Structure 1
């Protein structure tokens, strides 16, 4: 059964259009509050947000919803998604809420929910909350309505927690870092954490105005970061996204380092130091074949999950792994948090930079990615992947790439698109295979 509101990462959409309206946000607060009113203790929810203009509206609506069913609310203001997860757990809250649309433009927004353990909600919880959204709200008696308060110490608590992810003997003295916070949730905390550990920090994207989050800055637009790293003579550049659960790095030469290279570095480093659990890391089906081959040289496995950090986390918990992530920069390090944390991942990279004494251009390029090509084919209706003609061309391509490459065909979960991805040692072959499959899918779809 499909969900009506929740997607792969909470509820998300265009602000002031269904389902991202104040009315729905209040109902989500009431439904989620009802679901987590368990036991006879005083119930509490932690609410954080990024820097979007619509965050004020969504926050107030959620506060109204939660307090109306009897939950107290702790508002922490603009904070990274992983900070909300951490504070939910450390404050013994029953629920955590992050108001953010991550790397999307300012006009989108979203609602992410965390359980009392700091992990994102299960499908079962989300289905139950959706069921409550369809029912009449049970409001608290007047004397039991919840209270709301601002928590002023949230930033300090989170900064302390991320600094503790580095061993005590590691300092960042002498390191020059350019930090791009995407005019988003980490605009105060990430530069502070790096500075407190001794680094010289050049900041970008730290002047949010409600409309400029992820606008020509952050992990999805690296041009200014690359230019600044080179022109300022910095050792490394760090780019976060709007809610700071994603990290992309730029080396001192201005070259981009994606999540696959970062996972290779962190996984191999943790393995050498006896910290890696499960003798492998979890990535998604989109991670480059070069990463898989590199890990094999380290006697480590690559476990592939479906696209989406919740699926990476599911595989990590199931197999007992503590390092996972996505090519796009989500890094989940379960020893230090319950969800992706760009600042914690950055500190792991910076710690390695200090310990190794190597320049970032040498340290962060552990393997050569094999040529990879992804194309999307839009379709109207029907099931193009069920066509015998499409199945035949896919089978032919798989046979052609066998032993030297990999093919991935999947439907988009959010748009009427067929995603066709191939990778292999022969770039010309990769392009030819993708083009051939796309042509047949397009023919069938039309």
Structure 2
């Protein structure tokens, strides 16, 4: 079909891109191709309220089915794209069907890493958390009194641990690094989050890896850890990171680097092909980064849509993230890459604090734990390029808004 935009992937970025084009009054034909058999939905609540049974799946949908027809967005679910033919400007489905495009957008997301079979990864009872199907499979296993092993002390693993404790499971988290959140947070933030989990009854073992899982009748029943101890296990959740879904791009000859390399307009080296979201590597402050976040999926997809519609504004990522664990809300402003100094600011409320990150004296990020005011002010400072007086940051009585004005 002439002028058609084909979007491969049906997650947050796909919906954001299509909705933005329609908001910009772009009338080109749009076709979304999704592997999952369900309409585009929010992923973050899957591992929290949905898994806890506090939210029905329909509430996770970005829009009901009628929205797509009303906005002339065709969507085909349960289909897999196996190949891109750049010369013919077609994508080929697993069925062999070739679909033509004028513009192609790859918003294929990322896939959780799985444990290798050599470590017992082929046993039943081992789960990852990414999709509705993952959550549905896991929900039947999350029963009070069962023993859960979480492999990986990043945000995904810790969020899973929090939900499991709420449901009454016995939870052990192992992290092979010296501390949890090693890659993504300062020691101060990690220590606070560890204390929160331990107070809830979670066992956290740092500097501890998995040697192998042990099975009984094909189902996981134990775990041999790197220190030689063996612990009984009924369920395992692997939170050991994700891999960008860049195979289609790589096989089509586009540049990849654990992600599809794009420019500031979300364009690949092929002017007819864009990419956005977790599957991309994008330019940011003179370097290439991957941002695995809902915020980036939305913002980058909307920037791509604007570029497709003739806009000339480059996308400048303004990272922010969040993590809900128990009744604790951790909000993260900025990107702490390369920080060389941190300051801790006690909050005015009990159990609230913030960690401020600096690089070469400049504020670059902030972790706010149950401290929304610190998060909002720090985020604004980072966006405006303001670095506050560090002595005032340390003082919980200092007015944060005054810091912003200063």
Same fold by TM-score greater than 0.5: no
Task: Give the TM-score, by structure 2 length.
Answer: 0.27
Which structure shows the bigger proportion of residues in helix conformation? 1
Which structure shows the bigger proportion of residues in strand conformation? 2
